[in-house]
Chains A and B, each alone.
Chain A
Amino acid sequence: MEKEKLIESIISAPTKNNDPEIDAWINESSENREEYIQHKNLWAIMQTGSEISELQIRNSLSLVRQKTEPAKPPISIWNLMKYAALIFVTLLSGYLIGKIEVKHEVAMNEVFVPKGNRSSVTLPDGTKAWINNGTKITYPEKFSEKERVIELEGEGFFDVVHDKAHPFIVKVGENRVKVLGTKFALVAYPEDKFIKAELISGKIEFDVKGDNQSDEFKSYFIEPSQGLVLEKSSGKVTESKISDGFYDYWQNGVYQFKDESFEELAKKIERIYNVEVTFNDQSLKKRLFSGTLSVSDNIFSLMEVFKSATGEPFAYTYQGNHIYINKQKQ
Chain B
Amino acid sequence: MKVLSSDIITLLNQNNEAAFDVAFSIYFPRLVAFAKQYVFEEDALNLVQDTFITMLNRGPVFSNENQLQGYLYTNVKNNCLMFLRREKVRKKYIDYKISSETQFNINIEALESLNTSPLAFDEIEQIIKQTLDTLPPRCREIFIQSRMEGKKNAEVAALFDISEKAVEAQITKALKVFKIALKDYLSLLIFFF
List residues of chain A with CB under 8 Å of any chain B CB.
Answer: 7, 10, 13-14, 17-20, 22-23, 26-27, 33, 36-52, 56-57, 60-61, 63-64, 67-68, 298-301, 304, 317-318
Contact = CB atoms under 8 A, between A and B. Distances in A.
Nearest to B73: A45
B28 A61 contact: yes
B11 to A, nearest CB: 8
Nearest to B97: A18
A23 B30 CA distance: 27
A52 B21 contact: no
Contact of A41 (B25, B146, B148, B189): B189
B91 interface: no
A44 B80 CA distance: 13
B56 interface: yes
A57 B103 contact: no
A236 B180 CA distance: 68
Contacts of B106: 26, 33, 36-37, 40
Nearest to A317: B7
B142 to A, nearest CB: 13
Contact of A57 (B28, B102, B109, B110): B28
A317 B7 CA distance: 9
A41 B113 contact: yes
Contacts of A45: 34, 73, 114, 124, 189
A41 B41 CA distance: 17
Contact of A47 (B17, B34, B152): B34
B36 A14 contact: yes
Contacts of A48: 1, 29-30, 33, 146-148, 150
B177 interface: no
Looking at A33, A43, A48, A304, which has the most chain B CB atoms within 10 Å of its CB? A48
A43 B179 CA distance: 9
Interface residues of B, number: 57
A46 B147 contact: yes
Nearest to B37: A44
Nearest to B8: A300
A44 to B, nearest CB: 4
A42 B115 CA distance: 11
Contacts of A14: 36-37, 40-41
Name, among B19, B22, B103, B107, the residue most crowded by chain A CB atoms within 10 Å (CB to CB): B103
A17 B103 contact: yes
Contact of A40 (B18, B97, B110, B152): B110
A56 to B, nearest CB: 8
A300 B20 CA distance: 10
Nearest to A35: B186
Interface in B1-16: 1, 5, 7-8, 11
Interface in B48-105: 48-49, 52-53, 56-57, 73, 97-100, 102-103
Contact of A33 (B38, B48, B98, B109): B109
A317 B99 CA distance: 50
B190 interface: yes
B31 interface: yes
Which 3 residue pairs spanning A and B have beta carbons closest together? A49-B29, A47-B33, A49-B33
A38 B41 contact: no
B32 A41 contact: no
Contacts of B146: 48, 50
B160 interface: no
Nearest to A20: B100
Given A48-B29, A49-B33, A57-B24, A41 B114 contact: yes
8 contacts: A17-B98, A18-B100, A41-B110, A44-B34, A48-B148, A52-B32, A300-B8, A301-B21
A2 to B, nearest CB: 13
